[in-house]
Amino acid sequence: MMALSLIFPLLVEMVHGVTRTESSSISQKNGLMSANVGDTVVLVCFNEGNVGVMFSWYKQTFENIPQLISTLYKLDNNAEFYQEFKSNTRFSVEGGQGKNNLMIADVELSDSGTYYCGSSYGNNLEFGKGVILIIKGSDSRNITILQQPVSESVQPGDSVTLNCTIHTETCAGEHSVYWFRHGSGESHPGIIYTNGDRNDQCEKSSEAGSPTQSCVYNLPKRNLRLSDAGIYYCAVASCGEILFGNGTKLDVEESTVRSPTPLVNQHQERDVLNYAAVSLNPNKNPRRAREKTSSEDAVYSEIRYIQ
Check whether residue 153 and residue 39 sit in a common domain.
no
Tell me how far apart the alpha carbons of residues 196 and 181 are, in angstroms, rounded to a whole number: 17
Read off the pLDDT band of 177 (50, 70, 90): confident
One-character DSSP codes across 262-277: PSS-TTS-SSEEEEEE
Length of the chain measured in residues: 307
Check whether residue 122 and residue 245 sit in a common domain.
no
pLDDT in tens, 218-269: 899 999 999 899 999 888 877 667 788 888 999 998 876 655 555 545 444 4
Per-residue pLDDT at 294: 45
Per-residue pLDDT at 300: 43
Tell me how far apart the alpha carbons of residues 150 and 148 are, in angstroms, rounded to a whole number: 5
* For residue 297, pLDDT beyond 80: no
Residue 33, domain extent:
2-136
Q: For the chain, give the percent of residues with pLDDT over 70.
A: 60
Question: Mean pLDDT throughout 75-94?
Answer: 92
Check whether residue 159 and residue 244 sit in a common domain.
yes
* For residue 113, pLDDT beyond 80: yes
Check whether residue 75 and residue 112 sit in a common domain.
yes
Check whether residue 54 and residue 179 sit in a common domain.
no
Bigger pLDDT: 138 vs 39: 39
pTM: 0.61
- What residues contact 194, with CB distance under 8 A and at least 6 apart? 2, 6, 62, 176, 177, 178, 179
Read off the pLDDT band of 40 (50, 70, 90): very high
In a domain, 257, yes or no: no
Check whether residue 283 and residue 216 sit in a common domain.
no
- What residues contact 294, with CB distance under 8 A and at least 6 apart? none
Task: Pick the last residue of a domain from 136, 154, 173.
Answer: 136
Is there a cis peptide before residue 286, judged by omega within 30 degrees of 0? Answer: no
Number of domains the chain is built from:
3
- What residues contact 205, with CB distance under 8 A and at least 6 apart? 211, 212, 213, 214
- In degrees rounded to 5, what are phi and psi of residue 28? -110, 130
Per-residue pLDDT at 71: 95
* For residue 217, pLDDT beyond 70: yes
Does residue 226 sit in helix, strand or coil? helix
* For residue 44, pLDDT beyond 90: yes
In a domain, 261, yes or no: no
What's the CATH number where 56 sits?
2.60.40.10
Calculate the dihedral angle through the C-alpha atoms of 163, 169, 173, 178, rounding to the nearest 10 degrees. -40
**Residue 68 β-bridge partners:** 58
Check whether residue 116 and residue 76 sit in a common domain.
yes
